[in-house]
Structure 1
Amino acid sequence: MEFNVKKLASDAGVFFSRAMQFTEEKLGQAEKTELDAHFENLLARADCTKNWTEKILRQTEVLLQPNPSARVEEFLYEKLDRKVPSRVTNGELLAQYMTEAANDFGPGTPYGKTLIKVGETQRRLGAAEREFIRSASISFLTPLRNFLEGDWRTISKERRILQNRRLDLDACKARLKKAKAAEAKAAAVPDFQETRPRNYVLSASASALWSDEVEKAEHELRLTQTEFDRQAEVTRLLLEGISSTHVNHLRCLHEFVESQTNYYAQCYQFMLDLQKQLGRFSGTFVGNAESASPAAATSSPAVAAATLPAVPTIPVVPTIVGVPNTVAEGVLNPKEVKPPASGTRRARVLYDYEAADSTELALLADEMITVYSLPGMDPDWLIGERGNQKGKVPVTYLELLS
């Protein structure tokens, strides 16, 4: 118990000394030991790294999970060291609704069939989003959190210790300065009181006492200086490690970009496949008589037409996405057309492409083909030639060369 009381009294004295030194420095009444410029630059760089890492981390979390309540829930689960429950993505939920709606409307109807196809794509998009979130969390968010919760906490702790060592050092310097001033004053008193022996003895004793105080203060200063230098070296090494942190975060950033690139490439490919599948559905966009308004059905021309004999009509074929109008009407066969005298270009194929029918040309990535356009063609398509093979090719799969 006696040891604890002494330690408590000692800690209270140290705290009071640091508080006095800090207050006097703020009031401009005490000198402060300044760190060198290199050390100050390291401190500023570390603070900058910490601040921007926090901002990037928070905004990346918003990007991956826009729902604030979901982010709070995931944060609580992580703090409690519990597994975060699996959450259905928006794409997967939309896919579920579309599938259920198709079953109610009839999976064999054009609308129901289209709902099923779009729902399957939305489910694939949701699964790709889930994988992207998982990959980004592991490769990017986790290293940023580890820095803030690990390395930065260590740096902050050592910086606080260094600050305390600096306050102790400056307090020792102030005590030594006061002791030397008192010693000099006590040593000067006998010169003016040589006719008073008793005062001379008292002054000599005071001078010896202040000499002991000076020696004690010098000894404390040497110890405090050693502790400060040691702590400054430890803190400097930790601050210089910020460069390694930047290298690690740079590698993680590359991995994040790669994950995001793969995710968007998958989404793009899924949507291209969906568009091609919807283009093969015959009659999906053809209007029917049921869509006519009741007013038009009861108009006099309509009544008159109803009394006439039925006359066969030419069905209206809609423009299917990605297919030229002339081709859709059966007027033009790409294999029978001839290239124009001018306007042909070379193109490099970016991705593999599987021909949907005999009018299209299958493609292989990185191959070179000749392409040109024909009057009336959809701008998203071109005629492609490879040797004696010819067919329509999508522009988005090509890199047109000059």
Structure 2
Amino acid sequence: MDITRLAVDAGAFINRAVQYTEESLGQAEKTELDSRLESLLDRADSTKTWTDKIISQTETLLQPNPGARLEDLFYKGLDWSTPERPTPHELLSENMMDAALELGRHTPYGSTLIKCGELERQIGVANKKLIQSTDINFLSPLRRFTDQEYTVIQNERRQLVNKRLDLDIAKARLRKAQEADSEAQGLNANPLGEEYVAHVSYMFSFLRVRWLKMWAQEVSQAEMELRISQSVFDRQSEITRLLLEGINTTHAAHLRSLYDFVEDQASYYAQCYQLTQDLHTQLASAPPLVCYNNNWHLETNQPSTDKQPTLSNCWVLYNQPGLDNHPGKQPTPTNQPGNQ
């Protein structure tokens, strides 16, 4: 370990802390940054803030369960692969399939449950693809800015603050050196008188000048350090400015990612609509069914010689003409004995 370098760094840290404290208390002058640079810094901060909010809300949209999101964050922190978990649509599909097996898959209700379960399964698969594509095409570029690009900006920003503090420290040292030199010149210009008070005053002034000279640098040395600090500060300001102007490129990249997100959503919802519409058409084209005495029969317009069921033990499903289209709802009896 370089002890000398460590001591220099510690001294610089203490000087910066003192300068920052005096600025906070209004006891020291502060060099203001260029207004253009301040505007770029504010824009970078706003971009970071809103990007974090968009990422968080998008993750909530894709995974509403906060426990699952916390688990994913835990695995991500350990650099482990996230465990596969079923989507809500896939869980609903499993329940529908299990219900159909237990209630009778060959009944109209059971067979329809199977069809709806298959629909939910396909929607769940499409939802997983949407989550995967959104994470790759939309969230990853946004996270790259918050985790990498903005971190670089913050590092350069801290360097700029340090160089600005060093510049103000150099300015303060130059002022002290000029003050000590001015008082020394004034002390030498005034000849001593014969009075005792003049000698005492001269002694105190001499001690003050010696004290200032002890803690103040020579004017030439202070001016040289100021020029160096100003040059370093200007160079760091330019580096930070060029880096911050790259926010425009970041916005353009995020815009392309946003287009990809909208395209992925459009594809997902179009696929879900098509799957749902196909099942709806299939169910709507099914022939009406009549159930009586716990048996299902196709409703036809052909006359039958069999004994017709009474309305007390019969109900109609699926688009039965003249009746309400709600499964299990019994029609109102008409022309029955006792209703005259």
Among residues 288, 309, 315, which one is paired with 2:292 in the alignment? 288
Correspondence for 1:174: 172
Correspondence for 1:387: none
Name the structure where helix makes up a greater proportion of residues. 2
Q: Structure 1 residues 207 and 76, CA, compared in 2 at 3 Å: closer, same or farther? A: closer
State the identity as a percent: 49
Structure 1 runs of 4+ aligned residues shifted over 4 Å read 205-212, 309-319
Correspondence for 2:228: 223
Question: 1:110 and 1:121 mapped to 2: Cα distance?
Answer: 17
Query: How much has 1:191 moved relative to structure 2?
Result: 2.1
Correspondence for 1:163: 161
Question: 1:212 and 1:44 mapped to 2: Cα distance?
Answer: 38
Deviations 1:36-84 (A, max 9, x none): 1111110111010000000000000000011111111111222222222
| SS class of match (1:189) | helix
Query: How much has 1:209 moved relative to structure 2?
Result: 5.8
TM-score, length-scaled by structure 1: 0.69
Quick check: 1:185 aligned with 2:190?
no
| SS class of match (1:93) | helix
Among residues 58, 61, 72, which one is paired with 2:59 in the alignment? 61
Question: In the alignment, residue 265 of structure 2 is paired with which amino acid?
Answer: Q
Q: Is the 8 A contact 2:130 2:265 kept in 1?
A: yes
Correspondence for 2:109: 111
Question: 1:73 and 1:41 mapped to 2: Cα distance?
Answer: 39
Q: Is the 8 A contact 1:187 1:207 kept in 2?
A: no
Q: After the TM superposition, which residues 54-203 of structure 1 pair with which residues of structure 2 at under 5 Å, given as runs? A: 54-194=52-192
Q: Is the 8 A contact 1:98 1:119 kept in 2?
A: yes
Query: How much has 1:289 moved relative to structure 2?
Result: 4.4
Question: 1:69 and 1:312 mapped to 2: Cα distance?
Answer: 55
Q: Is the 8 A contact 2:37 2:241 kept in 1?
A: yes
Correspondence for 1:258: 263
Correspondence for 2:248: 243
| SS class of match (1:32) | coil
Deviations 1:59-111 (A, max 9, x none): 00000011111111111222222222222111112111211221122211111
Question: 2:137 and 2:280 mapped to 1: Cα distance?
Answer: 33
Q: Structure 1 residues 219 and 109, CA, compared in 2 at 3 Å: closer, same or farther? A: same
Question: Unmatched 5+ residue regions in structure 1?
Answer: 292-308, 327-402
Question: 2:161 and 2:145 mapped to 1: Cα distance?
Answer: 22
Aligned residues: 300
Question: 2:118 and 2:168 mapped to 1: Cα distance?
Answer: 71
TM-score, length-scaled by structure 2: 0.81
Question: 1:311 and 1:246 mapped to 2: Cα distance?
Answer: 74
Question: 2:145 and 2:83 mapped to 1: Cα distance?
Answer: 25
Correspondence for 1:356: none
Q: Which range is displaced more, 81-90 or 20-29?
A: 81-90
Q: Is the 8 A contact 2:174 2:217 kept in 1?
A: no
Q: Is the 8 A contact 2:180 2:212 kept in 1?
A: no
Question: 1:311 and 1:11 mapped to 2: Cα distance?
Answer: 102
Question: Unmatched 5+ residue regions in structure 2?
Answer: 296-305, 323-340
Q: Structure 1 residues 119 and 221, CA, compared in 2 at 3 Å: closer, same or farther? A: same
Q: Which range is displaced more, 8-17 or 134-143?
A: 8-17
Q: Is the 8 A contact 2:19 2:28 kept in 1?
A: yes
Question: 1:277 and 1:184 mapped to 2: Cα distance?
Answer: 100
Question: Higher relative contact order at CA 8 Å, sep ≥6: structure 1 or structure 2?
Answer: 2
Q: Alpha carbon RMSD of aligned pairs, Å?
A: 2.9
Query: How much has 1:288 moved relative to structure 2?
Result: 3.5
Deviations 1:370-390 (A, max 9, x none): xxxxxxxxxxxxxxxxxxxxx
